[in-house]
């Protein structure tokens, strides 16, 4: 993991010397987190995740001179990734989600705890599908990526109070969806 000082040094090399190796190091450091974030937003669409991740890093490279270090570089990247996801969703007129996941009846090959874990994952996927794009993003950032409200607000360009409100509404929707199963 890069320290903030190392990260700023790499960013400086990218901007001042057009150092692609420095940017490559930044990509190596942050690609797994960005990809994981987008993978959850796309509800497991690996191809779309790869496309959006690539677009995120292309935009980061071309826009690196606009990075002001007000927030962490990771926050800036997540903002770009989120905006790429929103742009894609708008172009498609509705969020493109994979078909309903069917859990195979493999109880004979799975232990009881593995079966329960699989069922819980399925339930969460179904509940996540009841959320709007923004609500799903906030749930992913807060509960799965464990980011603070302040950082989520920066990523999504929303006031902190709005983030809290959306999170509350999303939890209620998910709870209702889980009760109907």
pLDDT number for residue 112:
67
What DSSP state is assigned to residue 157? Answer: T
Q: Is the dihedral of CA 6, 11, 17, 23 positive or negative?
A: positive
pLDDT value for 171:
93
Label residue 104 by pLDDT band (50, 70, 90). very low
What is the per-residue pLDDT across 61-77, written as a single tens digit (0 to 9) for each? 999 999 988 888 999 99
Provide the token pair at 174. 């998910």
pLDDT of residue 152: 95
Percentage of the residues of the chain whose pLDDT score is greater than 90: 62
Q: What is the pLDDT of residue 122?
A: 78
Task: Give helix 20-41 / helix 4-17 axis angle, nearest 10°.
Answer: 120
pTM of this prediction exceeds 0.85: no
Q: Give mean pLDDT, residues 19-46.
A: 95
In which band, very low, low, confident or very high, does the pLDDT at 123 lie, cut at 50, 70 and 90? Answer: confident
Question: Is-contact 167 157, C-beta < 8 A?
Answer: no
- Given a cut of 60, is residue 95 above it in pLDDT? no
Q: Please, what is the Cα angle at 23 between 33 and 136, to 5 degrees?
A: 25
The tokens 């905006």 sit on which residue? Answer: 83
Of 77 and 114, which is predicted with more confidence? 77
100 against 78, higher pLDDT = 78
Strand spans (E) along 34-138: none
pLDDT tops 80 at residue 113: no
Q: How many residues does the chain have?
A: 181
């Amino acid at each position: 993991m890069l320290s903030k000082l190392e990260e700023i040094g790499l960013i400086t090399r990218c901007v001042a010397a057009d150092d692609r190796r420095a940017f490559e190091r930044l990509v190596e450091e942050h690609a797994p987190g960005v990809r994981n974030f987008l993978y959850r937003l796309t509800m497991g669409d690996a191809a779309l995740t790869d496309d959006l991740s690539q677009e995120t890093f292309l935009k980061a490279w071309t826009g690196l001179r606009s990075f002001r270090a007000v927030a962490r570089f990771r926050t800036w990247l997540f903002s770009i990734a989120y905006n790429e996801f929103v742009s894609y969703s708008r172009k498609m007129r509705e969020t493109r989600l994979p078909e309903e996941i069917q859990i195979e009846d493999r109880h004979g090959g799975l232990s009881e705890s593995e079966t329960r874990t699989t069922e819980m994952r399925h339930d969460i996927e179904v509940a996540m599908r009841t959320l709007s794009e923004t609500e799903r993003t906030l749930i992913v950032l807060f509960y799965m990526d464990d980011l603070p409200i302040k950082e989520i607000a920066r990523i999504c360009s929303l006031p902190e109070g709005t983030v809290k409100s959306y999170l509350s509404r999303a939890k209620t929707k998910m709870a209702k969806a889980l009760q109907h199963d």
